[in-house]
A and B are shown apart, each in its own frame.
Chain A
Amino acid sequence: MHKLWASTYKEFLSLVRDVGGLAILFLMPLLLLIVITLVQDSTFKSIQETKIPILLVDNDKGVVATSILENLKAASTFEVVLKDSEDEIKELVSKGTYQLGIVIPENLSSDLQTKVNANVDGILAKFGLDQEAETTPPISIATPKEVRLYFDPATPQTFKSSVENGIDKMISKIESQSIYKAFQEQLTEDTSEVIFDTQGFIRFTEIIPGEGPRDTLPNSTQHNVPAWALFAIFFIILPLSINMVKEKNQGTFIRLRTLPVSYATVLGGKSIVFVVVCLIQFALMLLIGVYLFPLIGLPKLDVSGKLSLLFIVAFFSGLAAVGLGLLLGTVAKSQEQSAPFGATLVVILAALGGVWVPVFVMPRFMQLLSNISPMNWGLNAFYDVFLRKAGFVQIVPELGLLLLFFVLTTLVAIVYNKRKNAV
């Protein structure tokens, strides 16, 4: 046991003596968390401080175009810049000066009205309410109209889809209101008489399933802190593997191999120190979320009542990350091997784990692959605690997988070392 303690103390001293490395180890993840949360928070916020400038050409000059313009302004997401010609829009959008341009076609309002009137007349005629329509068949003479949307090729697909859906919804609303208006005009002379309730009948209400009262709805902080904390925890494999490669290069590993000490004890000392580093990193991230975020306009991180569970998840995630670091450090022969491989591996595991893109939107094959990413297990456990208000029992499966991953990677490292250095 004293050998494990001595190994741990040696690792601790090596780590704390490298002040620069220590600063990078703790400060960079915090910086990453702050920057990512600030960037992503804007997409979570309902009221945005920055408006996206878009171009609009109004060839219609009618009520529909006015309505689209008013709706765009009311959405407060866009800053509408009016232009005179479609060619101008094409050029500005293709250069990337603007991300989006909308062209409203000529006679949209009048043709829509014509089409609606023809349909309404036809319907009323069927009910025998329109004498005129009985003699004139309700055939619409209006041709279908096309609202053109120009997108900068660099515009992300998600943004494009969201804008297309928004405009589609807006036009559908205008169409239905036109239909209501046409019926109103046909059925009564009194424009103040209310025949139809034109307010939307169906609404959406966001409900978080589960038991008990819920004080906090998920916000950008609740999503980002666990995801990026996990990312930072797994980045521990870099300093850990570099630490091990350094030992090989400076000859101390050769000396260790001649000593009556097991490789498991050597790895044990490293594991203890680096798991503690992970926990300190995590604690600092929580502190940032709780105390710093509100000061810089980000939502406060809510950790009330779940602190111990969060640290349990961080501990097991730290173990999994350390296991991977031990394996990489055992196999790698140089820092040129361990550093780029380790960094890329963490990014791949993060991508697979759902840190950037939720797993449910991934292709089926990638969803299957994500099941083998320890970051996916860790992230699910964090979301269980943070957002789904799960208890210890509910996160046991994820903790078990993380522990198993640590045991397996460490065992592979020990066996690999034993085979490679067999005498």
Chain B
Amino acid sequence: MIQIEHLSKKYKGSEHYSVRNLDLTIADGEIFGLLGPNGAGKTTLISMLSSLLKPTSGTFAINGLTFQENKNELKQLIGVVPQEYALYPALTAYENLAYFGHMYDLQGSRLKDEIVNQLTILGLADFANKRISTFSGGMKRRINLIASILHQPKILFLDEPTVGVDVQSKNVIINHLRQLNTSGTTIIYTSHHLNEAELFCSRVAIIDHGELICEGIPKKLIEQQDAAHNLEEVFLAKTGKALRDYA
């Protein structure tokens, strides 16, 4: 379970809070969607939860553990799929995965079997020995995902895991995430694909200007919003239609 209390983040030199006084609880086994326009604070929130950013104020605990006191234990517990293709282009898919697997303390046949298994599930077994630099965007996204789940994390953070990929790759990724969730992994993911979130998430939170606007089961949020037929209409009603350009 993730418990977030009064969490805030203000970047150095910035006049505004990227995340402001946010309270949220995410239960075990959920597929939780963090939705919001560009610059709403989704990535900042996920970065704080995955030890990449230090909060300005407030606290959070994952399964009762904090990064200040249980850093290595927590890092072993979570998996993080960054927005970028965080892979070594000169290395093959297998070499990348073997390296990241070792960092999660996996070794020997356990590591090898896990890599082969994941590559097979995500349709990349034939490309294990090809260099990442030769991969398409969709293939890189799938390797990016595998690199974060080799150690079978209890909690998986994904920052826009399906951005820039074709429908087929997206389908494979979402199905695999569902499978992971079924086997006990809590998933927290950000996305701009609201239709995908509506179908995929058990619960969503819409945040804007760093603040929590609403949260709940997608179906209920749609019902509660006047004249809304889908999550996108709820989203527009809550966050407005103004463009969000930041520099």
Contact = CB atoms under 8 A, between A and B. Distances in A.
Contacts of A131: none
Contact of A14 (B82, B86, B91): B91
Contacts of A5: 102
Contact of A423 (B67, B82, B86): B67
A339 B57 CA distance: 37
A364 interface: no
A13 B78 contact: no
A391 B107 CA distance: 44
B89 A6 contact: no
The 5 closest A-B pairs by CB, nearest first: A251-B84, A6-B102, A251-B86, A255-B86, A260-B75
Contacts of B105: 3, 260
Interface stretch (B48-56, B187-195, B215-223, B239-247): B48-56
Given A18-B90, A254-B82, A423 B103 contact: no
Interface of A: 2-3, 5-7, 9-10, 13-14, 17-18, 250-252, 254-261, 421-423
A6 B97 CA distance: 11
A10 B50 contact: no
B76 A260 contact: yes
Contacts of B53: 423
Contact of A250 (B68, B75, B84, B102): B84
Contacts of A421: 52
Interface string B21-53: 000000000000000000000000000101111
B89 A250 contact: yes
Interface in B49-106: 50-54, 67-68, 71-72, 75-76, 78, 80, 82-91, 95, 98-100, 102-105
A355 B147 CA distance: 47
Contact of A251 (B85, B100, B103, B104): B85
Given A10-B95, A423-B67, A250 B85 contact: yes
A276 to B, nearest CB: 18
A260 B90 contact: no
A363 to B, nearest CB: 42
A7, A250, A258, A260: which has the most chain B beta carbons within 10 Å?
A: A258
A423 B66 CA distance: 10
Contact of B100 (A250, A259, A422): A259
B84 A261 contact: no
Q: Chain B interface secondary structure, helix, strand, loop or mixed?
A: loop
Q: Chain A interface secondary structure, helix, strand, loop or mixed?
A: helix
A3 B103 contact: yes
Given A260-B72, A260-B76, A260-B103, A254 B84 contact: yes
A255 B107 contact: no
Nearest to B81: A255
Nearest to B99: A10
Contact of A13 (B54, B85, B91, B107): B91
A259 B149 CA distance: 11
29 contacts: A2-B102, A5-B102, A6-B98, A9-B99, A10-B88, A10-B91, A10-B95, A13-B90, A14-B88, A14-B90, A250-B88, A251-B82, A254-B52, A255-B82, A255-B100, A255-B147, A256-B103, A258-B50, A258-B78, A258-B82, A259-B100, A259-B103, A260-B72, A261-B103, A423-B51, A423-B52, A423-B53, A423-B54, A423-B67
Contact of B75 (A17, A252, A259, A422): A259
A258 B49 CA distance: 10
Given A6-B99, A258-B78, A260-B103, A17 B52 contact: no
Contacts of A422: 54
Contacts of A2: 102, 107
Nearest to A258: B80
Contacts of B91: 10, 13-14, 17
A5 B75 CA distance: 20
B87 A252 contact: yes
A61 B161 CA distance: 94
A19 to B, nearest CB: 10
Nearest to A10: B99
A3 B75 CA distance: 15
A189 to B, nearest CB: 93
A18 B89 CA distance: 11
B91 to A, nearest CB: 6
A423 B75 contact: no
A242 to B, nearest CB: 14
A272 to B, nearest CB: 15
A257 B84 CA distance: 14
Nearest to B73: A260
B68 A254 contact: no
B90 A252 contact: no
Contact of A258 (B48, B52, B85, B99): B52
Contacts of B95: 10, 13
A261 B89 CA distance: 21
Contacts of A254: 52, 82, 84, 86
Contacts of B86: 250-252, 254-255
Nearest to A422: B54
A310 to B, nearest CB: 33
A260 B151 CA distance: 11
Contact of B103 (A6, A14, A18, A250): A6
A22 to B, nearest CB: 11
Nearest to A17: B90
A17 B91 CA distance: 8
Contacts of A14: 88, 90-91
Contacts of A9: 99
Contact of A260 (B82, B104, B147): B104
A3 B99 CA distance: 8
A9 B67 CA distance: 29
Interface string B114-146: 000000000000000001000000000000000
A252 to B, nearest CB: 5
